[in-house]
Structure 1
């Protein structure tokens, strides 16, 4: 079987499909990942064969701006490498491709934020591409795979095949401090993911947050892009900063402060780490509120400051609360345990195989 995986946007999309793609490859299937140029390095870092279909990163919510170029690139790819099934994500362009080829389409996403309105708008914007290919309408996905654990799925989310979240990130040489919990002190991780150089706190004072945390006796790690470490490392005091494999270090942490990325949040949930989330966009806010609804996080919304309170102090107080109250860790571990009961990528792959066989 030949499976075409398609992603766009951020590296998180690559890391999200990597476990299922790796399971398919290990089962003897041929796979190909079609992605944006900025995602090529991420694909290589997790061992996925990838082909570039656009030179710039696709932005969700602006699908019509790049739909023609992306679809033409996919049509060119599949003229020479004909898949038996297409696996797509938030974008609906791969759904157009599958309908044109007359093969099954599988949607593979985190349904952690309400998307019905955006989906309807995106499908409407693709009407010119449908007409160009002689298609009347887009069929529903033949299989919908959701990485979001049921307890934190949004209300009214469509029925889906839940799949266990398996962390997959770019790696580097692992050092003992990455997998060893410090003795006698908590460990706090701060990260802004791969989209931003550094976490933008409401008070714009990451150094102040670091100082507040170290004052409690905590060890502070900052997982950041190499260029962020070079630019800001000297300003942040006695912390470890740089590219840190999140899946390795997460089990050693007592708290994580981050921007609301789905990959970041799910990797931390998987390791039972409570979170303080400062969303950097609407999607991050949805992620934050979902994790908080399970009692596994505190949300600090930069757009809704608490009257009379310094934003930096609000963040610091939230960190102190999580570190002092074991209930946050207990609730996060309970969520992790429930998520661990979901079908593995290998189990879900069998459903995909049956879909193609039928």
Structure 2
């Protein structure tokens, strides 16, 4: 059968779909990964058949900058707010609505080109990223099942909803193509390990998280004899894109403390995580879902320093299972003893075996989930 994959035009939303897309292709299905904008090159590097569709601008630079400033200026939010919106105040709920409208607008920019291509290619199934609502629209237009593919803990907040109702802009995204709006999917694919989920949506296919963070090569140092503990420091694609050089600010203390503790410090900017994490003893990172789940897959303990609401979700769940420590940049920034806090966390992660034991249990839990190849049968049953 023909299976169309679609994600909004940013690598963190494309990468989680790649393992399932390849599994479908290797099972003999005809796969097409639809892209737009600069992310087209990212998809092409996966080796998957890609089609670039026309798209229109999303927000102006000024509007995007205003949203970035608002997101990164937030104080810490309540734990697991994605499924506990009653814990949020009116300003926080307002920001979620703003983010929802932003993601709907991103889908709006893809919708015409995607629907146009879908009518021509006639897929039997559409698999779309959790916040790429245009995929659900295109599936409805050609009357085929839509599968919502989650990307981790941060995909649980339903940004398109003001629970239980969809935002007006979401409704309009469907109705302008003459199809009724829907907030459900024929199936949900969830690569989040059960112990890190905020909720269990259904109908659902559980899937093992397979790390894919882009194309690249294993660096030479990864195979060199290791004489001391190695810590990997990264602040993620989204932070770097949004903040530029300031994205590194929360991690300056960690790099200095690691050096003082006699650790080898590796700062990762370009090399995909899946090639280097098997050769590291600890990771210090920003709380992104892809980073967190990739490290969890390799059983590496994690120090997570979040600085925006969506980046608090995965770290909170990982800390709850004991596989890492979650610190919030807003608290560190205002704490005169922040360096001591960071040092204590890094010493614990290196010397307290309970963190490595918990990371090993989480790794085993991930490994026990059905592989993407096994999930393909569940997709076939939908058609």
Normalised-by-shorter TM-score class: 0.7 to 0.9
- Using the alignment, how far apart are the partners of 1:100 and 1:336 within structure 2? 40
Q: Which moved more, 1:19-28 or 1:150-159?
A: 150-159
Structure 2 match to 1:8: 8
Q: Which moved more, 1:125-134 or 1:97-106?
A: 125-134
Structure 2 match to 1:237: none
Out of 99, 105, 108, which is 2:146 matched to? 105
What's the CA shift for 1:141? Answer: 0.9
What's the CA shift for 1:132? Answer: 2.1
Aligned ranges for residues 114-125 of structure 1 at < 5 Å?
A: 115-121=156-162, 124-125=168-169
Cα distance per residue 1:247-284 (max 9 Å; x no partner):
12111211101111111111100000011111132111
Structure 2 match to 1:21: 21
Out of 104, 110, 114, which is 1:74 matched to? 114
Cα distance per residue 1:194-226 (max 9 Å; x no partner):
22156746xx364443222112111111111xx
- Using the alignment, how far apart are the partners of 1:104 and 1:158 within structure 2? 15
Question: Would you say the 8 A contact 1:179–1:249 is kept in 2?
Answer: no
What's the CA shift for 1:144? Answer: 0.7
- Using the alignment, how far apart are the partners of 2:325 and 2:57 within structure 1? 34
Cα 1:326–1:355, aligned 2, differ >3 Å: closer, same or farther?
same
- Using the alignment, how far apart are the partners of 1:205 and 1:130 within structure 2? 41
Which consecutive unaligned segments of at least 5 residues does structure 1 have?
Answer: 225-242
Report the TM-score when normalising by structure 2.
Answer: 0.80
Cα distance per residue 1:140-172 (max 9 Å; x no partner):
211110010001100465552110001112233
What's the CA shift for 1:177? Answer: 2.0
Let me know the Cα RMSD of the aligned residues: 2.4
Structure 2 match to 1:175: 219
Structure 2 match to 1:341: 368
Structure 2 match to 1:36: 36
- Using the alignment, how far apart are the partners of 2:267 and 2:57 within structure 1? 28
- Using the alignment, how far apart are the partners of 2:276 and 2:296 within structure 1? 13
Larger proportion of helix: 2
Structure 2 match to 1:304: 331
Which consecutive unaligned segments of at least 5 residues does structure 2 have?
Answer: 65-98
Question: Would you say the 8 A contact 1:190–1:256 is kept in 2?
Answer: yes
Report the TM-score when normalising by structure 1.
Answer: 0.85
Aligned ranges for residues 179-328 of structure 1 at < 5 Å?
A: 179-180=223-224, 182-183=226-227, 185-195=228-238, 196=240, 197=244, 200=247, 204=249, 206-224=251-269, 243-305=270-332, 309-328=336-355
- Using the alignment, how far apart are the partners of 1:113 and 1:309 within structure 2? 30
Cα 1:328–1:55, aligned 2, differ >3 Å: closer, same or farther?
farther
> Secondary structure of 1:125's partner?
helix
Aligned length: 335
Cα 1:220–1:19, aligned 2, differ >3 Å: closer, same or farther?
same
Cα 1:156–1:271, aligned 2, differ >3 Å: closer, same or farther?
closer
Cα 1:66–1:166, aligned 2, differ >3 Å: closer, same or farther?
closer
Cα 1:132–1:301, aligned 2, differ >3 Å: closer, same or farther?
same
Question: Would you say the 8 A contact 1:257–1:278 is kept in 2?
Answer: yes
